[in-house]
């Protein structure tokens, strides 16, 4: 028992690990929440592109001895505006615009840093993060920026989810889609920038997408999805750091692998959507799935948990049972 | 989204287009549209695919600026979406896998007028449920939106529109791909709204539907072909001018006969 406790507590006695744990929890929560909107809007590629395209900003700030976060932010804003502008072109899709700027920006970053003497070491610390080198001031900055991001999402949650669900309706409601899209990209850039030191340029995508995707498998409600994504993100971070500490593997990779493992578990065994669960459940409980397409007497109070929809028959999905129109 | 006067009779809700044209690049979508929409009318915009029905609706909703001319609401030019004009988009533009339930979607009709800091108040939720009740969807309040059939999804959109409490309802293809009970519900609902003094303008390419449940038909194919009560405007000549040789419907008394016509003729 005490050996177990030692196992848990040992890393926590070291300051650099305390900082690392705090940083990964912050990043897990922030990326989980904003990642919820990233996955729902299908913006994973955009997130990846932003993470890479802000690279030159990071490098320029580093070379000039300025604040790396500020350099990254300036680059992120410029890149998201540029993607918006190029994507407006009638001949190019948004995806193409992202692809062009993503690779171009990344190449510029590598070109700039390759001129430096400590090239290899610097490059790898940017690409994979240096979570063990998180200082107290880094933590404060991460926390401050992260809190700002979370509060802004909270304030504009209705607008952001309306736009993600039904853009035309949002527009008809007088929302300026361009302004909200830019706001969202700015928040996303901030989240990516503060994750760079922790998980690095390349694996930040996993922190945005994987916990949110896992959460989507577990719930049908947006607020719960954001909450679960934050929880899963932070949890993978903590577990991943322990694995990294004891197995001596790269912390970023370890965190992402834990998140991926949780996703795999949810994919297979999620209560209502898991591949295995559904098959088992179909065999055990629902010999006549067409009878279960809709709850027969769903409780009408919305404050109670939503009715159980155990199985959706693809054939019954289109026609569905109609309620008697009153 | 800016809450203006709610509940007060600030406008009578009279829409009108004055010499409106819309061009997308070199392509013209609408030409010289001059129409006055009355109050407490159900008006169907009838025309084939690509006739500019959706464009006209978006124009009326203030979502699209005209290339020429003006859209006027009670004599005032419409340049952006205004409260009181409710637009119900086509079902196809929506992500139905989205993690929201039926009540969440209905309450989006209230999202703009509620505090950012708090949750929806109990009376909003009750009104949300009442709107769902009106479209026969109350007992699906907790069901994820993607689990519904097409007709049920359309009903939820209507509940959301009802919660927006508009004076003018603009609906893009509300009858497309919905089941018969939903069609009947839509017709009843339109009639109810009209009796409350509201105006319903909807796009359709279903001739029989337009003849049955609107008291005015606007035949359009990039320009206005005819405008008036169904029995007056739905003549073979007008329909041929609107639809070309696709299919022609001839009103015969109260009955509607659909006559497929040789496209060469």
Total structural domains within chain A: 1
For B61, which of A155, A172, A219 is closest by C-beta distance? A172
Residue B225 has pLDDT above 70, yes or no: yes
Q: What is the pLDDT of residues A88-136, one digit of tens each?
A: 777 888 888 888 888 888 888 888 888 877 766 677 777 788 888 888 8
- By residue range, what is the domain housing residue A141? 2-269
Residue A317 lies in a domain: no
Kind and range of the H or E run holding B220: strand B216-220
Span A18-43, mean pLDDT?
94
User: What mean pLDDT is predicted for residues B12-35?
Assistant: 85
Residue B3 has pLDDT above 60, yes or no: no
pLDDT at B173 exceeding the cut of 80: yes
What is the pLDDT averaged over residues A208-237? Answer: 95
pLDDT at A306: 46
CB-based contact B98 A225, cutoff 8 Å: no
> Running DSSP on this structure, what letter comes out for residue B101?
B
The pLDDT-based confidence of A156 (bands split at 50, 70, 90) is: very high
Comparing CA positions, the residue from A92, A68, A47, A85 lying closest to residue A185 is: A47
Could you write out the DSSP letters of every residue in A202-228?
A: HHHHHHHHHHHHHHHHH-S-HHHHHHH
Section B213-236 average pLDDT: 86
Task: Flag if A320 and B136 touch (Cβ within 8 Å).
Answer: no
pLDDT-derived band at B1, boundaries 50, 70, 90: very low
What's the fold here for domain B1-84+166-265?
Answer: Rossmann fold (3.40.50)
Give the CATH number for residue A92.
1.10.3470.10
Query: pLDDT: is A292 or A206 the higher one?
Result: A206
pLDDT at A243: 93
Which residues, numbered 41 to 80 in chain A, qualify as contacts with chain B under a Cβ-Cβ cut-off of 8 Å?
none
Give A 83-112 residues with CB within 8 A of chain B. 90
Give the pLDDT confidence score for residue B260 in this predicted structure: 43
* Structural domain includes residue A181: yes
Distance CA A101, CA A96 (A): 9
Given the structure tokens 């609401």, which residue do they identify? B73
**H or E segment and range at residue A145:** helix A136-155
Highest mean pLDDT among A149-163, A169-183, A291-305, B25-39: A149-163
Question: DSSP secondary structure string, B78-92?
Answer: P-S--TTEEEE--GG
Can you give the pLDDT at residue A284?
64
Residue A318 pLDDT > 60, yes or no?
Answer: no
Residue with tokens 């069901």: B143
Residue partners of A3: CB distance under 8 A and separation at least 6: none
Give the pLDDT score at B129.
92
Contact B141 A295 (CB under 8 A): no
Chain A residues in contact with B101 by the CB 8 A cut-off are: 220-221, 302, 306
B67-117 residue pLDDT tens: 988 888 888 888 888 888 999 988 887 888 899 999 999 999 887 677 777
The predicted pLDDT at position B245 comes to 63
Q: What is the pLDDT of residue A149?
A: 95
């Amino acid at each position: 028992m005490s050996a177990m406790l030692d196992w848990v507590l040992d890393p926590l006695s070291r300051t650099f690990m305390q900082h690392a744990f705090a940083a990964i929890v912050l990043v897990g929560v922030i990326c989980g929440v904003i990642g919820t909107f990233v996955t729902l809007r299908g913006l994973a590629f955009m997130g990846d592109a932003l993470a890479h395209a802000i690279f030159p900003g990071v490098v320029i700030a580093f070379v000039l001895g300025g604040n790396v976060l500020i350099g990254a932010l300036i680059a992120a804003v410029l890149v998201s505006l540029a993607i918006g502008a190029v994507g407006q072109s009638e001949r190019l899709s948004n995806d193409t615009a992202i692809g062009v700027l993503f690779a171009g920006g990344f190449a510029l970053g590598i070109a700039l840093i390759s001129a430096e003497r400590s090239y290899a070491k610097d490059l790898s610390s940017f690409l994979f993060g240096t979570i063990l080198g998180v200082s107290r001031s880094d933590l404060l900055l991460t926390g401050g920026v992260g809190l700002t991001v979370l509060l802004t999402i909270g304030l504009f949650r209705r607008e952001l989810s309306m736009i993600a669900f039904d853009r035309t309706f949002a527009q008809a409601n007088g929302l300026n889609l361009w302004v909200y899209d830019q706001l969202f990209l700015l928040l996303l850039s901030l989240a990516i920038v503060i994750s760079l030191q922790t998980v690095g340029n390349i694996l930040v995508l996993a922190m945005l997408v994987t916990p949110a995707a896992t959460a989507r498998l577990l719930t049908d409600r947006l607020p719960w999805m954001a909450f679960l994504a934050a929880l899963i993100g932070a949890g993978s971070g903590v577990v991943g750091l322990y694995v990294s500490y004891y197995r001596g593997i790269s912390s970023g990779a370890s965190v992402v692998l834990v998140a991926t493992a949780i996703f795999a578990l949810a994919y297979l065994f999620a209560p209502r959507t898991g591949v295995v669960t559904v098959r088992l459940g179909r065999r055990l409980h629902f010999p006549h799935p067409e009878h279960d397409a809709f709850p027969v007497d769903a409780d009408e109070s919305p404050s109670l948990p939503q009715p159980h929809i155990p199985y959706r028959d693809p054939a019954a999905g289109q026609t569905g049972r109609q309620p008697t129109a009153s | 989204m800016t809450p203006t006067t709610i509940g007060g009779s600030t406008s009578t809700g009279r829409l009108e287009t004055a010499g409106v044209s819309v061009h997308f690049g070199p392509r013209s979508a609408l030409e010289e549209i001059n129409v006055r929409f009355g109050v407490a009318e159900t008006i169907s915009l009838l025309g084939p695919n690509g006739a500019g029905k959706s464009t006209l609706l978006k124009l009326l909703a203030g979502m699209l600026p005209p290339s020429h001319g003006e859209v006027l609401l009670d004599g005032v030019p419409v340049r952006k979406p205004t409260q009181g004009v409710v637009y119900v988009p086509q079902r196809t533009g929506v992500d139905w896998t989205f993690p929201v339930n039926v009540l969440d979607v209905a309450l989006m009709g209230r999202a703009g007028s509620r505090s950012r800091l708090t949750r929806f108040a109990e009376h909003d939720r009750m009104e949300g449920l009442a709107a769902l009740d009106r479209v026969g969807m109350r007992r699906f309040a907790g069901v994820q939106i993607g689990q519904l059939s097409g007709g049920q999804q359309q009903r939820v959109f209507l509940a959301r529109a009802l919660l927006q409490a508009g004076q003018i309802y603009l609906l893009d293809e509300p009858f497309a791909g919905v089941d018969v009970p939903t069609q009947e519900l839509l017709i009843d609902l339109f009639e109810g709204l009209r009796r409350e003094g509201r105006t319903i303008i909807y796009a359709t390419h279903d001739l029989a539907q337009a003849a049955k449940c609107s008291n005015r038909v606007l035949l359009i194919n990039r320009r206005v072909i005819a405008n008036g009560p169904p029995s007056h405007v739905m003549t073979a000549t007008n329909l041929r001018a609107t639809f070309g040789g696709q299919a022609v419907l001839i009103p015969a008394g109260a009955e509607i006969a659909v006559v497929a016509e040789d496209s060469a003729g």
